[in-house]
Amino acid sequence: MKTITLAHGNGGQENNELISKVFYKAFKNDILEKSEDAAVIHNGELAFSTDSFTVSPLFFAGADIGKLAVCGTCNDLAMMGAQPKYLTCSVIIEEGFDTKSLEKIVRSMKKELEVNGAIVVSGDTKVVPKGSVDKIFINTTGVGEIQKKGISSNSITSEDMILVSRDIGAHGATIFAAREGIDMNTSLQSDCASLYPQVKALIDADIKITALRDATRGGVSAVLNEWAKQSDICVEVDEDKIPVSDEVNGICELLGFEAMALANEGTFVLAIAKEDAQKALDILKQTNETASIIGSVTDQYVGRVVLNSAWGTKRFLELPTGELLPRIC
Amino acid sequence: MSDLQLKDLYDGFRDPDTIKAFKKIIDEDAKKLEHPINIMEVCGGHTHTIMKYGIPQLLPDNINFVHGPGCPVCIMPKERIDHAYVLSMQEDVILVTLGDMIKVPGSNGSLQDARSKGADVRFVYSPLDCLKIANENKDKKIVFFAIGFETTTPMTAALMDTVIKQDIKNIYFHINHVTVPEVMRELIDSRDEHVDSYNHQIDAFLGPSHVSVISGSKIYEEFPRDYKKPVVVAGFEPVDVMQSISMIVKQFIENRCELEIEYKRLVSYDGNKKAQDLINIYFEKISLFKWRGLGNIKDSGLKLRDEYAKYDAEVIYKDILPIAQIEDHKLCICGDILRGMASPPECTIFGTACKPSTPIGSCMVSSEGACAAYYKYGNLL
């Protein structure tokens, strides 16, 4: 790793390597090492998280960078069973950026804050010369009140089932379809959404939640691989139970991607105690009918994720590597 | 895209019952085989399908796959990547290529590395996207680093055609297009200099179908006729591959040796004549093209015809393009893998020094390479 390449930001293997070899090495502490979606602080009462947002195009079907910037951090808090409360908002803007677009982005942030019941309490603005950033970068940092303690990616066992909250890959596929170069008419929309309402519904129903994680960069594939390693388990998923929309499947076919590795911005993976899995599924289905129980936890290949096909074959589902690039032919 | 439902691209061709039914037929037929058969899938797309869908797990012990040289990224020699690297580092150049190519390491690094050093390297979904880049960057020279087999050549020819017809002044071409029949012939004919008796282990071929959409199935005629190797032109879905294997097995038990098309929904005997004509207008064969791991293969590459030299980056940048020959890494056995003589796990650096994130050999670079497919999918069973 002599220089940083785009692959180091892929949410997969190279990204993990960068984080562990540079940042974890320097910042080493017990909280950070738990490697959860948000840090649990203040005697387990608060969750604390930060995220920066860069996306091209800034406005896309289903959302924009503003909505994304609020959902992203709030969802990280929600994944620790916390209600998002206070956010900071820091923006880096390229000179020449259109004020109307900025206002649109901020309106979008305001709307999404309301969904979460959170407020922005501090912020920062920087304007940099043209070419220094790609239009606008947004950082949000958030604090949330933990409503249910003990949710952790480190404590999944064979007593859990694995679920996803809806069909996967919609955000990643939407962004690819929207980028210049692919003139594609699709009704695809990013899944970008705040997840706290669904998490609250699960908590209110007293569901035994072991772990939650929103499947952002690196997709469901990265979440399952991280869980398998963090909890020393084998996750086995059934390919035909994984919900993927026809359009996402089609784009994957055209460009040679796997839906499991595509980014999501409003889809989460759940490890739920077996006895509550069906009940949790029923609750998730109230928001999205495509929610599904996709797999179980075994000790067959500890630290790995196994994908079972509908015709009896199996393979490992690996952590995504490299920059997502379309295949050649 | 509006008339084509994306679902149509895969629906039905992954049907579990159909796949299981083919498994049953193949199991029964394979009992009648007189000897085990090794089927080479020439195309990297097939390798990927075979590994991703676990096809070997469905086949009896006497049917094996050997992986072929049909991945445009895998076969690109370092010398050519060094050309792309040098061109990309020119201040007034935007180097444009297709997908995976930017990850392949040359002797100075990959195009991805060049980009991280400030080079303007872009990947496109279609060569025609160069037109937009050229229009938006009139003060720059757009060099299209063209790669791929018969499948992608017509698109480069279409770009060339537009550049000439619209008199676009700032698009240039670095051509690395190669052709399939020549390398298939090489695999059967050649002898390995490192071993006494070269044994290519190929009994039959799964024919690359995207290539055949353009060139027609006719380009494989010589293999059953002259070399006694059956060829079935196969699609890329698991049902396609299972059906094609069944067709090959039936040829053996019925003592036939023919060229057949499984992928009839897109492939014809003659192929796409319009695309072939366009290729012939702008390209001609070059006498030798070096393939990574395989060496020089006669008549296996294309170049722009001399009358289009003013568009040819190899002519224009002749003075700065490196000419030194580069040896492949000593421990890497990509050459043997591409020849069908070895499988990826037989390589001593497979999965250790050589991984998709730090590829040493070209077969580990591309998502369609045999080593990458084994690394990603194949180490379970």
pLDDT digits (tens, 9 = 90+) for B261-286: 999 988 999 999 999 999 999 999 99
Lowest mean pLDDT among A111-120, A237-246, B96-105, B236-245: B96-105
What pLDDT is stored for residue B197 in this prediction? 40
- Mean pLDDT over each residue of chain A, to the nearest integer: 91
pLDDT at B2 over 90: no
pLDDT band at B196; cut points 50, 70, 90: very low
Q: How far is CA B134 from CA A20, B278, B317, in A?
A: 41, 22, 19
Contact B366, B44 (CB under 8 A): yes
Structure tokens at A271: 């490890």
Lowest mean pLDDT among A6-15, B304-313, B335-344: A6-15
Preferred mutation among B3, B4, B5, B6 to probe A, highest tally of A CBs within 10 A: B6
pLDDT band at B380; cut points 50, 70, 90: low
Contact B212, B233 (CB under 8 A): yes
Instruction: Quick: pLDDT tens for B138-167.
Output: 999 999 999 999 999 999 999 999 999 999
Contact B110, B61 (CB under 8 A): no
From the list B73, B116, B148, the residue facing A3 with the nearest CB is: B116
Lowest mean pLDDT among A245-254, B8-17, B140-149: B8-17
Q: Which residues of B touch A321 (CB under 8 A)?
A: 355-357
What pLDDT is stored for residue B191 in this prediction? 62
Q: How far is CA B249 from CA A79, B25, B199, in A?
A: 53, 10, 21
- How much of chain A, in percent, has pLDDT values that exceed 90? 75
Least Cα separation, residue B136 to chain A (angstroms): 13
d(CA A23, CA B21): 52
What pLDDT is stored for residue B1 in this prediction? 45
Instruction: Say how many CB pairs under 8 Å bridge A and B.
Output: 129
Q: Under the phi-then-psi rule, with left for phi > 0, alpha for psi from -120 to 50, and beta for the rest, what region is A11?
A: left
Question: What is the pTM (predicted TM-score) of this model?
Answer: 0.85
B100 touching chain A per CB within 8 A: yes
Pairing relation of β-strands A305-308 and A234-238? parallel
pLDDT at B123 over 50: yes
What pLDDT is stored for residue A185 in this prediction? 67
Q: Which residues of B touch A4 (CB under 8 A)?
A: 116
Contact B93, B174 (CB under 8 A): no
pLDDT at B233 over 90: yes
Q: Which residues of A touch B137 (CB under 8 A)?
A: none
User: What is the per-residue burial (b if ≥16 Cβ within 10 Å, else e) of B67-93?
Assistant: bbbbbbbbbbbbbbbbbbbbbbbbeeb
In this prediction, residues A130-142 reach a mean pLDDT of 94
What pLDDT is stored for residue B238 in this prediction? 94
Strands (E), chain A: 39-41, 46-53, 59-60, 63-64, 82-94, 119-128, 136-146, 160-164, 209-214, 234-238, 268-273, 292-298, 305-308, 314-316
d(CA A287, CA A165): 9
Element (H, E) at B285: strand B283-291
What pLDDT is stored for residue A256 in this prediction? 76
Least Cα separation, residue B374 to chain A (angstroms): 10
pLDDT at B331 over 60: yes
pLDDT at B48 over 70: yes
pLDDT at B74 over 90: no
Lowest mean pLDDT among A156-165, B104-113, B237-246, B354-363: B354-363
Q: Which amino acid is at A193?
A: A
Structure tokens at B259: 């060229």
In this prediction, residues A107-118 reach a mean pLDDT of 97
Residue B311: name the closest of B153, B144, B122, B98 by CA.
Answer: B144
What pLDDT is stored for residue A302 in this prediction? 94
What pLDDT is stored for residue B362 in this prediction? 78
Q: Which residues of B touch A185 (CB under 8 A)?
A: 1-2
Lowest mean pLDDT among A56-60, A104-108, B23-27, B193-197: B193-197
Q: Which amino acid is at A111?
A: K
In this prediction, residues A284-299 reach a mean pLDDT of 97
From the list B7, B113, B129, the residue facing A181 with the nearest CB is: B129
From the list B7, B10, B356, the residue facing A321 with the nearest CB is: B356
Structure tokens at B148: 């791929």
Q: What is the DSSP string of B138-170?
A: TTSEEEEEEEESTTTHHHHHHHHHHHHHTT-SS
d(CA A243, CA A222): 16
What pLDDT is stored for residue A184 in this prediction? 65
Instruction: Quick: pLDDT tens for A48-57.
Output: 999 999 988 8
Q: Which residues of B touch A257 (CB under 8 A)?
A: none
Q: Phi and psi at residue B173, in whole multiples of 5°?
A: -125, 135
Q: Which residues of B touch A325 (CB under 8 A)?
A: 99-100, 102-103, 123, 367
What pLDDT is stored for residue B174 in this prediction? 98
Least Cα separation, residue A306 to chain B (angstroms): 9
Least Cα separation, residue B27 to chain A (angstroms): 15
Preferred mutation among A234, A252, A329 to probe B, highest tally of B CBs within 10 A: A329
B112 touching chain A per CB within 8 A: yes
pLDDT at A322 over 80: no
pLDDT at B195 over 50: no
pLDDT at B67 over 90: no
Asked if B7's CB is within 8 angstroms of A325's CB, the reply is: no
- Between residues 11 and 50 of chain B, which touch chain A (CB distance below 8 Å)? 11, 16, 19-20, 23, 45
Structure tokens at B323: 């000419």
Asked if A185's CB is within 8 angstroms of B132's CB, the reply is: no
Angle at A225 between CA A224 and CA A228, to 5 degrees: 85
Q: Which residues of A touch B20 (CB under 8 A)?
A: 311-312
